[in-house]
């Protein structure tokens, strides 16, 4: 992949963007692996959301955004979308591994 300044065409630019987007998706998958592994250390389902952890991690994400030349509010907004989704995946995983399995028929019993 060429650097942005070395790109000689729109096709080069699009290839770079597509390559980076694939890396972002792969990194989200790796993050999910860690989130699911964390379930091993949760004593019960109620301990999964950990709002104190979420609050503690946001200043770092904002700082990292600034260091990368990004708008910290934009990055915080992304994490405001990502974090609840990852928490829900961990809850589902925890229930399957350690609690009650989730119904597969939409919840009807």
User: What CATH number corresponds to the domain at position 12?
Assistant: 1.20.59.10
The answer to the question of residue 107 being in a domain is no
pLDDT at 1: 87
Q: Is residue 103 part of a domain?
A: no
Total domains in the fold of the chain: 1
Q: What was the pLDDT predicted at 103?
A: 57
Tens digits of pLDDT across the chain (109 residues): 899 999 999 999 999 999 999 999 999 999 999 999 999 999 999 999 999 999 999 999 999 999 999 999 999 999 999 999 999 999 999 999 988 655 555 554 4
Q: Is 109 within a domain?
A: no
The residue range of the domain holding 79 is: 4-98
Q: What is the H or E stretch that residue 86 is in?
A: helix 72-98
The answer to whether residue 33 sits within a structural domain is yes
**Residue 50 belongs to some domain of the structure:** yes
- Find out whether 90 is annotated in a ligand binding site: yes
pLDDT of residue 99: 80
pLDDT of residue 105: 55
DSSP state of 107: T
108 in a structural domain:
no
What DSSP character marks residue 101?
P
Query: pTM of this prediction?
Result: 0.84
Residues 6+ apart with CB under 8 A from 95: 45, 101, 102
Contact, 32 vs 86, CB < 8 A? yes
* Residue 106 maps to a domain: no
Whether 40 has a binding-site annotation, put simply, is no
Q: Is 31 annotated as a binding residue?
A: yes
Buried b (16+ CB within 10 A) or exposed e, 16-50: beeeeeeeeeeeeeeeeeebbebbeebeeeeebbb
Q: Does 42 carry a binding-site annotation?
A: yes
């Amino acid at each position: 992949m060429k650097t942005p300044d070395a790109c000689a065409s729109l096709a080069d630019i699009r290839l770079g963007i597509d390559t980076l987007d694939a890396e972002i998706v792969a990194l989200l998958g790796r993050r999910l692996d860690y989130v699911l592994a964390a379930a091993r250390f949760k004593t019960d389902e109620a301990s999964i959301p950990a709002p104190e952890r979420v609050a503690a991690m946001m200043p770092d994400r904002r700082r990292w955004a600034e260091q990368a030349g990004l708008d910290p509010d934009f990055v915080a907004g992304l994490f405001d979308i990502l974090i609840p989704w990852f928490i829900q995946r961990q809850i589902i995983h925890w229930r399957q591994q350690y609690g009650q399995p989730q119904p597969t028929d939409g919840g009807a019993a």
